[in-house]
Amino acid sequence: MTSHIMPTYARQSVTFERGEGVWLWDTDGRRYLDAVAGIAVCNLGHAHPAVHEALCKQSKTLLHTSNLYGVALQAQLADRLIELSGMDNVFFGNSGAEANEAALKIARKYGHQQGIEEPVVLTMEKSFHGRTMATLSATGNPKIKQGFLPLLAGFTHVPYNDIPAIEAAIAADPNIVAILVEPVQGEGGVNIPADDYLNKIRALCDQHNLLMMLDEIQTGAGRTGQFLAFQHNNLLPDVCTMAKALGNGVPIGACLARGKAAEVLTAGNHGSTFGGNPLACSAALAVLQTLTNSDLITTAHSKGQKICQLFSETLAGNPHVINIRHKGLMIGIELDKACGALVGQALEKGVLINVTADNTIRLLPPLIIDDTQIATLTELLSALIQEFSR
Ligand SMILES: *Cc1c(COP(=O)(O)O)cnc(C)c1O
């Protein structure tokens, strides 16, 4: 079935045909509760009517004209993103990696503007920023780099959630021009930093004239209980990247910039044929409208709390469960051993989950998940975890 597809993924042996809300149906008609949401993409659930209608309407009107001309929906989407984020302007691409590429180009040119010929971007260990050459160079995971040397120069990595390590790196290298960091590390294991981590990074960036660049590709669009995770911290970054849930499944990426960072890239500096095309922008506008005209963002926190509370109760006393944590509906259940096998076992029981950093169950359910579905998810998965760690 997948024999002519390059084997870059270890896929589960299931193919989905149809979705609705938190549910997916496979080609045999079997139903699954989706607690992965296409890796934090389908925040509104599958086949959301607002997205469906926007796509139908736009596909009857205009799909693409390129960025050689004005694109009305792109301008509208930028206006809306600026209102919701407090940033100043946006570059649109088609994926998370592309959004981060734009951010990294801003950082480098910003460095050159200050006479730094070999600008360095500080990023974190265990981070994930994408699979293109620049973004895998930025990524703090040796496995992702293996086989792809030489990497791009100009990256330094320090441990996550470690402010003294950032201070030491800045003191040691005058070429550092920017800090790129995830508000919560997703692929790295749902690592949630200290509450004031981002505030301290903001202060260091101000003090040393560095760009504060947040990778909100996984945390953005309501996932953590704010539209963007930095809004928990009452601050503004200089650059912020989004993708995943912005189009609820339609590919779109965005690099938002503010202040001096918003003025770095000029005509001819960067581009994308598809970036911000009418079809993708119509989907993203429908997503933003749905998110902001509902309580989905504000309830993400209480739903995540509820899920973690239920797991804490059912898994209480299980010595193999090290930690249960969440920021909104980004949930991690860390075990004391590798637990990748749970993914297939959960699939058998009709639940889609993800395991990251070898030993952490990562749940990214759609924000529309309700109490009954939360009960189903936690009951089924708790039983599996109990069985697995026996
Ligand atoms: C998924 C992800 C990316 C990469 O996005 P793609 O759309 O796969 O290129 C980058 N950063 C973070 C934090 C992500 O979760």
Q: Are residues 220 and 309 in the same domain?
A: no
Residues 197 and 273 in one domain: yes
Across 282-379, the runs of DSSP E, i.e. the strands, are: 321-327, 330-335, 351-352, 354-356, 360-363
Which of the listed residues 260, 292, 324 is the one where a domain comes to its end? 292
Nearest CA to ligand 1 atom 10: 129
Q: CA torsion, points 253, 163, 185, 188, in degrees to nearest 10?
A: 120
Say whether the peptide bond before residue 150 is cis (omega within 30 degrees of 0).
yes
pLDDT digits (tens, 9 = 90+) for 5-32: 999 999 999 999 999 999 999 999 999 9
Same domain, yes or no, for 177 and 202? yes
Q: Are residues 380 and 340 in the same domain?
A: yes
- Residue 136 and residue 199 share a domain: yes
Report helix, strand or coil for 255: strand
Same domain, 95 and 239: yes
What count of other Cβ atoms lies within 10 Å of the Cβ of residue 310? Answer: 18
The reply to whether 239 falls in a domain is yes
Quick one: 153 and 246 in the same domain? yes
Number of independent structural domains in the chain: 2
Indicate whether 79 pLDDT > 60: yes
pLDDT of 53 strictly over 60: yes
Quick: pLDDT tens for 328-347. Answer: 999 999 999 999 999 999 99
Q: How far is the CA of 40 from the centre of ligand 1 (A)?
A: 10
Q: 313: CA distance to ligand 1 center in Å?
A: 33
Query: From the alpha carbon of 251, which atom of ligand 1 is closest?
Result: 7
pLDDT above 60 (res 246): yes
Per residue in 175-212, pLDDT (tens digit) is 999 999 999 999 999 999 999 999 999 999 999 999 99
Look at residue 8 and tell me if it is in a domain. Answer: no
pLDDT (0 to 100) of residue 3: 87
The CATH number assigned to the domain holding 338 equals: 3.90.1150.10
Q: Which residues are catalytic?
A: 128, 215, 244
Question: Is 42 among the domain residues?
Answer: no
Residue 138 included in any domain: yes
Question: 390: pLDDT confidence band, cut at 50, 70 and 90?
Answer: confident
36 is written with which tokens? 């992965």
Ligand 1: residues whose CB is within 6 Å? Answer: 95-97, 100, 128-130, 182, 186-187, 215, 217-218, 243-244
pTM: 0.98
Mean pLDDT across the stretch 72-89?
A: 98
Token pair, residue 232, equals 């928990």
Mutate to test the pocket of ligand 1, among 244, 255, 354 (most ligand atoms within 8 A of CB): 244
Residue at which a domain ends, from 245, 270, 292:
292
Task: Tell me if 102 is assigned to some domain.
Answer: yes
What mean pLDDT is predicted for residues 156-162? 98
- Look up residue 93 and give its two tokens: 């691409």
- Best residue among 9, 129, 362 to mutate for probing ligand 1, ranked by most atoms within 8 Å of CB: 129
Residues 86 and 28 grouped into a single domain: no
Q: Which residue's CA is the closest to the ligand 1 atom numbered 5?
A: 96
pLDDT of residue 238: 99
* Within a domain: 7: no
Position in ligand 1 atom list of the atom nearest CA 182: 13
Q: What is the CATH number of the domain that holds 89?
A: 3.40.640.10
Mean of pLDDT values over 48-57: 98
Report whether 90 contacts 241 (CB < 8 A): no
Mean pLDDT of all residues belonging to the chain: 97
% of the chain at pLDDT higher than 90: 99
Which amino acid belongs to residue 19?
G
Per-residue pLDDT tens over the stretch 107-143 = 999 999 999 999 999 999 999 999 999 999 999 999 9
Q: 305 and 227 in one domain?
A: no
Sheet of 120-124: strand order equals 89-93, 253-257, 239-242, 211-215, 176-181, 120-124, 155-158
Residue 2: the pLDDT is 54
Instruction: Please return the burial class of 1, using the count of CB atoms within 10 Å of its CB with bins 0-12, 13-18 and 19+.
Output: exposed
Q: Is the domain of 149 the same as that of 192?
A: yes
Nearest atom in ligand 1 to the alpha carbon of residue 130 is 4
Distance CA 146, CA 164 (A): 29
Q: Is the pLDDT of residue 1 over 70?
A: no
Is residue 44 domain-resident? no
Q: Which residues contact 380 (CB under 8 A, 6 or more apart)?
A: 33, 346, 349, 350, 351
Q: Per-residue pLDDT averaged across 271-282, rounded?
A: 98
**Amino acid letter for position 284:** A
- Centroid of ligand 1 to alpha carbon of 218 (angstroms): 7
Q: Containing domain of residue 360, as a range?
A: 16-34+296-389
C-alpha 27 – ligand 1 centre gap (Å): 28
Sequence-ordered list of residues with C-beta below 8 angstroms from that of 318, at least 6 positions apart, any chain: 385, 386, 389
Query: Which three-class secondary structure state does DSSP give residue 230?
Result: helix
- Confirm whether 6 is domain-assigned: no
Give the residue, by CA position, lying nearest to ligand 1 atom 11. 129
